[in-house]
Structure 1
Amino acid sequence: MAFDDINAREDILPNYQLSLIIGNTKASSDLGVKVLFDFIRLPPQKIMLLGCGFARVTSAVAGVVNYYNLVQTCFSNGAWNLPQVMLLKYYNWTKVAIIARRSEIYDVSMERLLNDLHHAKIQVITTEGFIPGTNFDRQIGNLKAIRKLSISRFKKHLKITVKSWYINGVKEEDVRIIIGHFQEEDALEIFCQAYKHGMYGADYVWIVPGFLSSTFWDKAVNVKHVNCTPQEIAIAANYSLSIDFATINTADETTISGMTPQSFDIRYHNWPSIVNHTYWPNSYAGFTYDAVWAEALALNSSLSRITKLNRSLDDFRYSDSEMAGIFKEEMYRVNFSGISNMIKFDKYGDVHPHNTYLVQQQGNAKRFVATIIAKENLIDFNTIPPNVIKWAGNGPPVDQVKRVYRLLRIPLAIFIIMTILSCIAILIAVAFLIYNDKNRNKKVIKMSSPNLNSLILIGCISLYLSVIASGTISVVESPILCMLPPWLTTIGFAIVSGSMFAKTYRAYKIFTTKKRISVSFSNDSIIVISQLLECDCQHGTIWLVTILALNGFVIIFGAFIAYEARKIKLLIMNESKQIAICIYNVALLCIIVIPITFSLPNTSGGPYITSCGLILYCTTTTICIFFIPKYLTEILTIWPNCKQVHGKPRHSQSQGSVERANQDVEASHLPLIQWQKNSRFHSGIGRSPYEAMFGKKPRVDIDGRKFSKSVLDKIGYIQGTDEDNIESQPFENIPDSEDELSSQESSFDDLESNADLCVSCQRPSSRAHKCRICKNYCHAIPPCCASTDIEEGFGSLVTCRLCESEEHTRNLRQQSKRKLQQQAETMLQKSVKRLKSGIVGDTVLIPLPEPDREKSQLRNVQACIFSVSKDNYYQLGTWHGLINRLHDATQLTLCKESFLAKDDINCNVKISLRETAKLESVITGQKSHFCGCYTSCITSRCKCFKANVKCNSKCHHQRTCKNK
C-alpha cells in the first residue's frame, strides 16, 4: 500500500519507482543473515533495508548491514525509555534494578535508558545481563556487592549471568523496582526464578516489555528448562506494568499520505491481500507504512545533493560510504505527520510517540489503566473504559527499605571481663617483678639474668595494657587511643621476645666462646544498619605486614639460637625448652586465631575477644613458664623432702597383659569402631553409609545419654537437632510394666475420643491439616511439618515430617546408588582402556619413586621419547641427559601437548632416574627419610627397611647396603 501511494506521487522521487523485495526470515536470526546476503549477492542493487519484524533477527542483521552501507529502519526498543522514566518519577521510585538481554539491539537501548535515568536522577542499583541460550540449570550465585555502572561503559561492566544468578543478585541488593528488557521466551524463566525467590507481591513491581502476551506463561509447558508451573509464573507476573503504543495516531488530522489514521485503518482492512487472507491483519501496519514513507522522503531529499555530485541513485554501491552518509543525514531531517505518530528521529534514531499506554497484568488479562502524555509530562488515569490500577498490597511499594544506622560498640560486659583479667594479670606480673628484684642475688634468679627477666615482665605488662586500650577505642573516640593498642602490642612483643632470645644468646656465648667477652643488651521497611568505629591509616596494610614479618624473623632467629644452645649442661641457664614451648604456643595460636579474627564479623566483639584472649593467654603462659619453675625451685630449698617429678609414671607391660586388656574392652569398643566406620565420609557415595541408609546424620543412641561426654567427644558424637528429637519422643517414655502400659492405652483412648493425634509429635491435633502423602492429621507448624509447606486455612494440605524424611532418605539412597554405578563404570572404562603407543618426539610423564623425591616435589617428571626398540621399549631423555634404563608403555603417560623436543635432549650424558629427580627438584631431590645404618639394611633395625622404602643417597655411603 505504501509503495503504491509513493509511486503514484509525482513530487516524490520523480523518474524513480520504489519496489519491495520480500525475504522471509521465519523468525530465525541465522536465516535472516542468509536472506540479507542473498539480497546483496543478487541483483538489482538495494538502497535501503526495511525490518525485521523480530528483535532477535533485527539484532543479527544490524550487525552485518553496516558493513554494506545500507540504511535500516526497524522498531526501536528505545522508544519505551521516556514513558518508563515518567512512570518512575510519578511514583517517586528513585532506585531501580535492570535485567537485560545481551544483544546488539538491547545493548544500545539499555545504554540510552541508563542515560535517561541518570539525567532524571534515578539511581540504578544493579544491572544484570544475560546471554540468550545460557544453561539455566546451574547453581544460584551470590552477587552481594553493589555495582553502580557507568553509562558510557555499559557493555564493559555489564554483569553477564545466568537467569537464576541475576534474580538472586537483584534480591541481594534489596531493590523493589525492576525494569526488564527481554523476549517472551526469557520471561518464562525470569518469572519462574522470581517466584522461587519470592520477588513478587506487595513489595515488588516489575516493568516489562509491552509485547508480552496476556497469558505468555501457557508456553511454559513446552519449555524444558523452566522448572515452574504456568500457575506459579502467572502469580509472579501478576500486577506487572508495561508500556504499549497506540498503533493508530489518535489525532484526527490528514497525514502526509493524504489520509487520516482512521481512513487508513479502514483502507488497510479492505486491502485485497487482507480480504482474501493472503496476509493476516497486523496491528503494527501503521508503523511499517510510516517507515516506508520515511525512507522515501529521505531518498527524495537526497536527490538534490547527489545531483550536485553528478551522480544518481542508480550509482549507489555497497562500498559507497559517501552516498550512504547522505542518506543517513537526510533520515535525521525527516519530519512529517504519519499514521502511527509524528515521525521525527532523535540523535539515537528513535521516534518518541506523543501518547503511550500504561498496561497492567491483572489475572489473565492486560488492562489499559492510564495514558502517558509525553508532550505534557502527564499521566492520565481516566481511561475509557475505566480500569483502576491494582496493587498486591495497600498501595504502590517503596523503591527500597529505609536504612537506620546504629553505632556498634564492644559489649560492656565483655570489656569489663577483659579489663578485670588484664588487671589481674598485671598484678601477677608486678608480683613476679618484685620477687625478681628482691631475689636477684640468689643463684636461681641471678643465673637467669634478673635484668632480662624484668624486661620480659615489663613487655608482658605492655601487652596487658594493649588489651585494655583496645576495648577503650569503642567507648572513647580519640586518635591517641586509636594509635595506642598497636604500638603497645608491637613494643611489648619486641621486648618479651627480644629478652627471651637475649637470655639464650647470653648462655650460648658464655659456653661456646673460649675467650670471655661481655655482651651489651639493648631494649522490613526499616533496616537497622550497624556501624563500627575502626582505626585505619593510609599505609595500614604495609605497616601490619612489616611488623608481622619483623616479629616472625625474631621468632625464627630466637628458635635458631635456642636450638644451638640446647646442649648447655648447666640447667639453670639452659632455657631452650621453655623458649621452644613459648614459640610453639605463640606460633600455633597465631596461625589459628589471626585468620579467625579477620574472618569473624565485628558485630558482637568477636575479633576483640579472640585477639585479646590470644594476648592474655600467650602472655600469661610465658610468665608462668619462665617464673613459676624458679619459684618452685626456691620452694624446694625450703622443703628439701619435697620432690619435683617431670614426666608421667610408667608401668611394665607384657604381651599377655596387653592381650587380656584388649579382650576386656573388645565388647565395648568394637561397636564404637563399627559406628565410626559407618559414620565416616565415603568418597564413592558422597556421604557416610549411615546417612545414605537412614537419610540423616548418625547419632549415639536415641538421645545420646548412654555414654559419657569424654567418650562422645572422642568418637565425634553429633548432637541431634530439635527436629531429629521429635522422632525419638515417642520412645522416651517406654512403659516398664503391663499396668503402666494399660494406663497409657487408656489415656490414648481418651485423647483419640476428643481429637486425632498428630502423626509427627503424637500430640492432639485440631484436625485442621492433613498430610498430602499419608493423609494423617498433622500440625501445620514446624517441626511437625516441612518448613516450606506452612499454609493457613482450615483443611489445607501439608507434608508431615515423617513423609518428608522418608522422601529425603529415598533420594539419598538413589543418589548413592547412582554414584556407585558411576564409580563402577569408571573402573570398567579404565580396566578395558588400551595403552597408546608413543612415537619418537612425544612428551611423556615418568612417575618418580617415593624415596627419590621430596614431599614438596611433583610426582612426575617430563621426558621425551628419544628412540623406540623392536620390543616397544622406550629410550627417554630430559634436558639433563638420557635416562640409563628403558621403559615400557605401562610406566609412562603420554602428554597431549609437546613441551620437550628431541633436539633439547643432552645426548652426551646418561643419568639415572634418581639423579633426574634430584636435578628437577628445587631442594634436595630426595625424601627426607633416611636410616644412617652401617650394615646391609636387611633387618627391621633399618628404618628404611622397616618402613618398606628403599635407601637413598642421604642414608649412608656403604656399598654393603642391599636395600637399594
Structure 2
Amino acid sequence: MLLVFVLTTCLRAISALDDLYILGLFPFDGIAWRGGYGMLTSAEIAIEHVNKHDYILPGYRLNLIYNNTMCDPGQGIKVMYDNLYSPPTKLLIIGAGCSPVSEATAQASHLWNLVQMSYVSLSPSLSDKLRFPFFFRTTAPDVVVNPARIDIFKQFGWSQVSTIHQSFELFSTVTENLNELMKEANLTIVRSEIFTQDPEVQVKNLMENDARIIVGGFYADKARKIFCEAYKEGLYGSKVVWILVGWYDDDWWKTPDPNVDCTVEELSAAVEGYIAIDHIYLNPKNTPSISGVTPEEFQTIFNNRTNNENIFGKKLSPLAYDTIWAIALGLNETIEDLARNDTQKNLTDFTYTDSEFGHILLENMKKVNFQGIKGPIYFDENHDAVSLLRIVRIQGGVKETIGIYNPTLTTDVKIEWLPETPVVWAGGLPPKDSTIVYYETVVLSFSIYVAFCCISGIGMVLAIVFLMFNIMYRNARVVKMSSPRLNNLILIGCILIYITVFLYNTTENHSSLICQAKIFLMTVGFSLAFGALFAKTWRVHVIFTNATKQKKIVKDIQLVFMVLGLTSINLVVLIVWAILHPIIVVTNDLPKEVNEVDDYEIRKDYSACTSENEIYYTGTLFGIQGILMLLGAFLAWETRKVKIEALNDSKLIGVCIYNVVVLSILGVTVSFALGDNINLRYSLDSAVVLLATTVTECLIFVPKVSINLIFRLFT
C-alpha cells in the first residue's frame, strides 16, 4: 500500500506540471554547416538538467520542439512559420545555428513577441537592435575577433595584410570592420578578395600580389576549396600565415568533400601553421556551472550520449547547453515578475499578441547572469554574450592554444601568450609580411664615363691640332690641293661627334634635352665629316671624268654649300622629329634579383630616352647617311685611277667608309645582344664612335701632316 501511495503522489506531482514549449532551429544538414545534432544533444541534456532542479521554473516542465533549417534562410523561415501557426504555443525560439538563417528568422520572430536566442550565430549584423530587437546569443559576434587580429599583427610586426572572404553578410561585415581597424592602426591592405562559389581566381590574385599574411572569412566547405587552391598555387608554408575564423570543427580539412580535388595529406600541408581566433567554449578552470555540472562532467555526459563519436557541432555544443539555461533563467525571472505585478497571468497564458509578456521576458533576458559551461554568461547592450577569446594554431598537425585575448586588459596588446605552448616559427622568427624589396636605379658607372670622356677629350685635342695645322698650312701645296675649307668641315664634324661621348647622364635625374642634343650633334657631325669627304670626291670625279674638252672648275664654296645643304636635310628631319614626337625619358625595369633564402628581392630600373615613331625618324636618318656613304663609295671607285695623291682621297675615303660600316654593324649587333647592360652599351657605343672618328681623321690628315713635315725638313 505504501508503494502505491508513493507512485500515486509522484504521478499527481508530474501531472500537475505545466508544459512550456520552445522552438528549436537546428541545421542537421546543409553544405555550409551541419552541426545541428551536436547542438540538439547538448540542448536536450540542458533541458533534462533544468527540469531536475525544483528552483528553476517551479510548476513547469520545459519542452523542446525542433526542426531542421538545413542552414538555409528560406527553409528556416518556412519551419518557423509552420510551427508558429501550429499548436502548442511556443514561448521562445532557440537558434538558429547559421547566421543567414538567424538573420531571416529574427527579423520576423519579434512580430510574434518572441525572444529568440542563438547558440552560435556570429554575424555582426545581428547586433543591430533596430533590425533584431528580440534577438540574443550566447556567443559574441565575429567582429570581436578583429581587435585580437590587430594585436597579432602588432605583436609579430606585420603591417601588410590581405583578406579573402565569402560573399555573405556574416563575413563581409567582419572584413569591413577589420579594414577600418587596420586603417586606424596605419596598417596596409595589400589585397582584398571576395568570392561567391569558386575561389580559384581570388587565390591566384593573392599569390600574384605576394600576399603573406592572409585573413580569411568563409564556411568550412569553402575553406577546404581555398586551401586546395592555395596548395596548387604554393600559397602556404613557412612564409605564409593564414588567419581564419575559429569555429570550424576539429580536423575540418579531413572531412570528405567531393568538390575538392586535393588529398587529405595535401590539405594538411596547406593548413599547417594557420592561426584561428576562437571563442572559449569550455571554462579552462573547470568551475561548476549553475547546474552543478563541471565542464569536464559535461563532456563526459555528452560523449556518452553520442557514443564518443566526433559528430558535427561537438566543439560548440557547450553553447547550446548554456543557451537553454539562459532561457530557463529568463523565464524563471518572468514568473516572479508576473507574480509581483498581480496580473493573474502565468507562463502558459502567453499568446503571440501579448506584447506586455514579450517585453517582460525581453527585459529579464537582459538581466541574465550566471556561470555556464563556457564560463560567465551575461549580455551587453546589443544582447551579445561577453567572453574571452583564445588564439589557436596548427603546429605539427596539432591544434594548440597559444594565447588568450582578454579585452579587459589595459595593456596595448591584450594577448596573454601561453608559455607551455609557444609559437613555433620556421627559423625561429615570424615570417615577414612581404618580400623585402630594395629599389635601385641603375646609372652609368662614373669611372667608365670619365675614362671614355678622357679618351674623347684626347680625340678632340687631336682634331683641334689637325684643324690648327689645316689653317696654318692652308697655303701649303699638300693642304691646298685637298680643299682646306672642306677639311675644316671634316674636323668640325669629328669634334661634334667626340662631344656626344660626354652627353650621357651619370645620375638618376635623366634629361631628355641631353638625349636630344646627342642625336643632333651626332647627325650634324656625321653630315659635316662625311658630307665633306663626299664633296671632295665628287669634285675629283667631275674634273677628271668630264667627257668634254672644256675645263670645268668647281669652287670650294660650291662644295661647302653642298655639305651644308646635306646637313640641312638632316636638320629638317631632326626638327620635325623634335616638334611632332619629342624625345621623352622613360623608366625601364630590369629583371628582378630574388634571394629566396633571405626573402628579399632587388628591383632595378634605368632611365632611357625614347620617342613615339622613333623607328621611322631613325630609319630616315640612317637612310640619308647610307645613301651618302654609298655615293661616296661609288665616287671613290670611279676616281681610283687619278694619280694626284694630294688631290685624290678616294682610297682613303673607301677605307673610311669600310671602317665606319664595319664598326657600326658590329656596334649595333653587340649593343642589341647586351640588352639593358648600361655600362657595356655605353662603353661599346663610345668605343665605336671614338674608333671610327679617330681612324677617319687620322687617315685623312696624318698623311698630309707627314708629307708637309718631310717637305719642310728637306727644304
With the length of structure 1 as denominator, give the TM-score of the two structures.
Answer: 0.41
Q: Which residue of 2 aligns with 1:243?
A: 277
2:202 is the alignment partner of 1:160: yes
Q: Which residue of 2 aligns with 1:356?
A: 389
Distance, in Å, in 2 between the alignment partners of 1:501 and 1:589 is 19
Distance, in Å, in 1 between the alignment partners of 2:179 and 2:512 is 45
> CA 1:124 to 1:263, structure 2 compared with 1: closer, same or farther past 3 Å?
same
Structure 1, residues 498-555: CA drift from partner, whole Å, max 9, x if none? 325754886899899x999953837999899989997x7xxx867x559887555433
Aligned residues: 523
Return 5+ residue gaps in structure 1 as ranges: 1-6, 10-16, 136-158, 298-311, 315-330, 601-605, 640-964
- The amino acid that maps onto 1:620 is L
Return 5+ residue gaps in structure 2 as ranges: 1-17, 34-67, 85-91, 111-115, 124-141, 331-350, 354-361, 543-551, 569-594, 641-647, 711-715
- The amino acid that maps onto 2:525 is V
Structure 1, residues 166-204: CA drift from partner, whole Å, max 9, x if none? 45753xx7x5x554546442475377569x78842xx77
Q: Which residue of 1 aligns with 2:688?
A: 617
Alignment of 1:690-705 (within 5 A): none
- The amino acid that maps onto 1:498 is S
TM-superposed CA distance for 1:570, in Å, is 5.2
> CA 1:636 to 1:211, structure 2 compared with 1: closer, same or farther past 3 Å?
farther
Choose from 518, 521, 525 the match for 1:492.
Answer: 521
Q: Which residue of 1 aligns with 2:30?
A: 26
> CA 1:581 to 1:234, structure 2 compared with 1: closer, same or farther past 3 Å?
same
- Aligned-partner SS, 1:87: helix
8 Å contact kept, 2:167–2:195: no
Structure 1, residues 772-818: CA drift from partner, whole Å, max 9, x if none? xxxxxxxxxxxxxxxxxxxxxxxxxxxxxxxxxxxxxxxxxxxxxxx
Alignment of 1:741-752 (within 5 A): none
Distance, in Å, in 2 between the alignment partners of 1:41 and 1:570 is 107
8 Å contact kept, 2:162–2:214: yes
Choose from 148, 162, 169 the match for 1:98.
Answer: 162
Distance, in Å, in 2 between the alignment partners of 1:197 and 1:23 is 33
Distance, in Å, in 1 between the alignment partners of 2:661 and 2:352 is 90
Distance, in Å, in 1 between the alignment partners of 2:257 and 2:449 is 61
8 Å contact kept, 1:371–1:380: yes
- The amino acid that maps onto 2:493 is I
TM-superposed CA distance for 1:368, in Å, is 2.7
Structure 1, residues 246-304: CA drift from partner, whole Å, max 9, x if none? 23689999x9xxx8897999999989x9789999874435656899999xx9xxxxxxx
Q: Which residue of 2 aligns with 1:120?
A: 185
Distance, in Å, in 1 between the alignment partners of 2:322 and 2:235 is 44
Larger Rg: 2
Choose from 390, 394, 400 the match for 1:367.
Answer: 400
Alignment of 1:930-945 (within 5 A): none
Q: Which residue of 1 aligns with 2:174?
A: 109
8 Å contact kept, 1:402–1:527: yes
Structure 1, residues 708-761: CA drift from partner, whole Å, max 9, x if none? xxxxxxxxxxxxxxxxxxxxxxxxxxxxxxxxxxxxxxxxxxxxxxxxxxxxxx
Alignment of 1:892-907 (within 5 A): none
TM-superposed CA distance for 1:355, in Å, is 0.8
TM-superposed CA distance for 1:497, in Å, is 3.3
Q: Which residue of 2 aligns with 1:790?
A: none
Q: Which residue of 2 aligns with 1:284?
A: 316
Alignment of 1:504-583 (within 5 A): 518=558, 519=561, 521=564, 552-559=619-626, 569=638, 582=660
2:647 is the alignment partner of 1:608: no
2:485 is the alignment partner of 1:456: no
> CA 1:638 to 1:428, structure 2 compared with 1: closer, same or farther past 3 Å?
closer
- Aligned-partner SS, 2:518: helix
Choose from 246, 249, 259 the match for 1:210.
Answer: 246
8 Å contact kept, 1:360–1:389: no
Structure 1, residues 17-61: CA drift from partner, whole Å, max 9, x if none? 9856777653169x9999656778999589999988579xx6xx9
Structure 1, residues 100-155: CA drift from partner, whole Å, max 9, x if none? 355445454333322222212233455577886467xxxxxxxxxxxxxxxxxxxx
Q: Which residue of 2 aligns with 1:189?
A: 228
- Aligned-partner SS, 2:482: helix
Structure 1, residues 48-90: CA drift from partner, whole Å, max 9, x if none? 99988579xx6xx99x979x9999984335443222112333x
Q: Which residue of 2 aligns with 1:75?
A: 122
- The amino acid that maps onto 1:593 is S
- Aligned-partner SS, 2:502: helix
Q: Which residue of 2 aligns with 1:391?
A: 424
Distance, in Å, in 1 between the alignment partners of 2:697 and 2:614 is 25
> CA 1:464 to 1:368, structure 2 compared with 1: closer, same or farther past 3 Å?
closer
Q: Which residue of 2 aligns with 1:806?
A: none
Structure 1, residues 892-937: CA drift from partner, whole Å, max 9, x if none? xxxxxxxxxxxxxxxxxxxxxxxxxxxxxxxxxxxxxxxxxxxxxx
Root mean square deviation, CA, Å:
6.6
Distance, in Å, in 1 between the alignment partners of 2:528 and 2:292 is 98
> CA 1:99 to 1:593, structure 2 compared with 1: closer, same or farther past 3 Å?
farther
> CA 1:345 to 1:395, structure 2 compared with 1: closer, same or farther past 3 Å?
farther
TM-superposed CA distance for 1:241, in Å, is 3.3
> CA 1:28 to 1:244, structure 2 compared with 1: closer, same or farther past 3 Å?
closer
TM-superposed CA distance for 1:456, in Å, is 1.4
Alignment of 1:708-747 (within 5 A): none
Identity %: 12
> CA 1:289 to 1:382, structure 2 compared with 1: closer, same or farther past 3 Å?
same
- Aligned-partner SS, 1:98: strand
- Aligned-partner SS, 1:160: helix
TM-superposed CA distance for 1:357, in Å, is 0.9
Distance, in Å, in 1 between the alignment partners of 2:602 and 2:312 is 62
Distance, in Å, in 2 between the alignment partners of 1:246 and 1:372 is 10
Choose from 628, 631, 635 the match for 2:699.
Answer: 628
Distance, in Å, in 1 between the alignment partners of 2:700 and 2:534 is 20
8 Å contact kept, 1:206–1:241: yes
TM-superposed CA distance for 1:453, in Å, is 0.4
TM-superposed CA distance for 1:93, in Å, is 1.9
> CA 1:506 to 1:427, structure 2 compared with 1: closer, same or farther past 3 Å?
closer
- The amino acid that maps onto 1:160 is Q
TM-superposed CA distance for 1:633, in Å, is 9.4
Alignment of 1:834-849 (within 5 A): none
- Aligned-partner SS, 1:460: helix
Distance, in Å, in 2 between the alignment partners of 1:117 and 1:446 is 80
TM-superposed CA distance for 1:356, in Å, is 0.5
TM-superposed CA distance for 1:373, in Å, is 1.1
- Aligned-partner SS, 1:397: coil
Structure 1, residues 316-336: CA drift from partner, whole Å, max 9, x if none? xxxxxxxxxxxxxxx9xx967
Distance, in Å, in 2 between the alignment partners of 1:628 and 1:352 is 97
Structure 1, residues 565-617: CA drift from partner, whole Å, max 9, x if none? 876555768879966985786588457636855xx3xxxxx403312421331
> CA 1:252 to 1:239, structure 2 compared with 1: closer, same or farther past 3 Å?
closer
Considering fraction of residues, name the structure with more helix. 2
8 Å contact kept, 2:273–2:395: yes
Alignment of 1:246-285 (within 5 A): 246-247=280-281, 282-285=314-317
Alignment of 1:913-932 (within 5 A): none
- The amino acid that maps onto 2:678 is P
- Aligned-partner SS, 2:276: strand
8 Å contact kept, 2:203–2:229: no
8 Å contact kept, 2:237–2:270: yes
Distance, in Å, in 1 between the alignment partners of 2:423 and 2:446 is 50
Choose from 422, 429, 453 the match for 2:456.
Answer: 422
- The amino acid that maps onto 1:354 is S
- Aligned-partner SS, 2:405: strand
Distance, in Å, in 2 between the alignment partners of 1:108 and 1:95 is 21
- Aligned-partner SS, 2:621: helix
Q: Which residue of 2 aligns with 1:673?
A: none
Distance, in Å, in 2 between the alignment partners of 1:369 and 1:130 is 30
8 Å contact kept, 2:162–2:191: yes
- Aligned-partner SS, 1:369: strand
